[in-house]
Amino acid sequence: MFSVCGVILAWNLTAQAQEAVDFETQIQPVLTTSCAVSGCHTGETLAFGGFSGAGLILFAGQSLEQLVGVVSKLDKDRLRVVPGNSAESLLVQKLERADGVGSGMPLGSDPLTAEMIQLIKDWIDQGALPDAPTAIGDVSWAEMKQAR
């Protein structure tokens, strides 16, 4: 019985590790090519005293700290990214062009593909970590007990 449970646990954790989304290699490239473009979430206009992308800069090295757990400057009741909860994350609502969240993003461009949005949702639902979660070999027993 215990060996069967162990095999199932190991298989489940391995499957999760294979599906883990990495911010730097999978999410940041989407932000860079679709959001951090001229006049949008670059900070260019802000440097000259203007308005640019709600003060949100999505360049590599800055985007993570400006997204995760940060209150939107335009909607003080919402977090840009709620770790573990893509449905409550303003970023996802904007990308899906939900009602009641202002302009859909990317502004003036075609929406991201469903696959790109799902990847962002998966990253958020996995905790919006800077890197993909570690493999089972890097997880301590205490961490596994907490996860139960």
Note whether residue 1 is domain-resident: no
**2 domain residue, yes or no:** no
Look up residue 133 and give its DSSP letter. P
pTM of the model: 0.72
Residue 74 domain boundaries = 22-131
Q: 47 lies in a domain?
A: yes
Domain count, the chain: 1
Residue 46's nearest CA partner among 33, 61, 34, 58 is 58
Q: Is 43 contained in some domain?
A: yes
When mean pLDDT is compared across 63-67, 70-74, 105-109, 114-118, the lowest value belongs to: 105-109
Asked whether the predicted pLDDT for residue 66 surpasses 70, the reply is: yes
pLDDT digits (tens, 9 = 90+) for 43-58: 665 555 445 556 788 8
